[in-house]
Amino acid sequence: MLDTIIRIRRALHQIPELGYELEKTQKYVIDELKKTTAKLDIAAPSGVIAFFDFGKEESIAFRADMDALPMEEKSGVPFASCHTGKMHACGHDGHMAILLSFAHVLSNRKTASNKNAVLVFQPAEEAGNGAKKMLETDFMEKYNVTEIYALHVEPSIPKGTIAAKSGAFMARSCEIHVFGYGKSAHIAKAHEGIDALEMSARFYLRAMDEIEAKYKTEPHLFKFGRFVSGNANNVLSPLTQIDGSLRAFDDEVFKNMKNDIQKIADETAKAYGGRIEAVTDEGYPPVINSASCYTRLKKASKGLPFTELKAPYMTAEDFSCYLKHAPGLMFNIGIGTETELHSNAFRFDEDGLVNGLKAFIGLFDEA
């Protein structure tokens, strides 16, 4: 199937699209699936579900994400993006190529051991919570999905190696936006104002110290990447905004961290006579791999290079939303390249993707 994987991956790589605006990508996926025996459903804006009916009561699902990233490609490959400012820099083209190739394998199957197959092509993984939109179609209930799997390419892992772990695999995450509200005044009359910049800086230093100290034994991440305040060098800033990310693997720890951050904000603001508000978005739940699904993956990967990951990743994935509805697992397929994900120079050889396809086939046979 390597030729098929290469053909599909390179065609999709040339037409990257963002979020839910996946007109060309969706058309390509549908056209490819029409060559198979799958029953097709259009799900969510630009999503596609392919159902392979083997006459069983239950189904096993496999998911691939479809969207690209807003960056100009500089990989130098002859099949580079034809869309200015858009690039498949996270390997989603490879994920779709594996799943579409899997569709051709399933189409040639006359029987299945235990379950039907559902292939899920999801929009807006990078931003937009596409998994939630797909779940709103109730496809998991419609097809009685009892387990679900996904993979992700990983440059740091040797080409063709399957890598996974049971339990926590990726973090729960959300964006955090901290707004410090003060009162503007000329710095010569600073006593008449409330310095939002100083107040927010004090919050920042205190929060970073106290959160890190309190949760040092819990795997977590609390970092800011943007700090914006003021319009003039001789006027107290009335508003400061700090933007960052909050991540953890345990829901209770995550909740407690958010509460502690707001408590520190309130106490700091009170000391200055201002107001600080810490706002978090819904974010994604943690990816928690099922122990039984992990055991099944190891059996399904027999004969393939396999490694058990020692620690979870601090990255996040909306695949976790599916795991609220059925047990499942996400694993990595190594592509062994020096270029990192989300780099405009990202490139890799497709050879290693074949083992991802083999793992999917094995999981279906083991279901």
pLDDT in tens, 205-260: 999 999 999 999 999 999 999 999 999 999 999 999 999 999 999 989 999 999 99
With a cut of 90, say whether residue 323 has pLDDT above it.
yes
Mean pLDDT, rounded, for 55-62: 97
Q: How crowded is residue 99: how many other Cβ atoms within 10 Å of its Cβ?
A: 27
Q: Report the DSSP pairing between strands 145-154 and 239-248.
A: unpaired
Instruction: Supply the pTM of this predicted model.
Output: 0.92
Q: Where are the beta strands (DSSP E) in 211-320?
A: 220-229, 239-248, 275-280, 287-289, 306-308
pLDDT number for residue 152: 98
3-state secondary structure of 65: strand
pLDDT digits (tens, 9 = 90+) for 100-117: 999 999 999 988 779 999
CATH 3.40.630.10 domain locations along the chain: 2-168+286-366
The pLDDT value given to residue 338: 87
d(CA 158, CA 130): 30
Are the C-beta atoms of 290 and 301 separated by less than 8 Å? no
Q: Which CATH number fits domain 2-168+286-366: 3.10.20.440, 3.40.630.10, 3.40.50.150, 1.20.20.10?
A: 3.40.630.10
Q: In the prediction, which pLDDT does 137 show?
A: 94
Cβ atoms within 10 Å, residue 291:
12
Instruction: Tell me the pLDDT tens digit for each residue of 342-352.
Output: 999 999 999 99
Q: CATH 3.30.70.360 occupies which residues in the chain?
A: 172-280
User: Under CATH, which number does the domain 172-280 receive?
Assistant: 3.30.70.360
Sorted by sequence, the CB contacts under 8 Å of residue 329 that are 6+ apart come out as 149, 150, 164, 169, 289, 290, 293, 294, 296, 297
Q: Residue 44 has what pLDDT?
A: 82
Is residue 196 pLDDT above 90, yes or no? yes
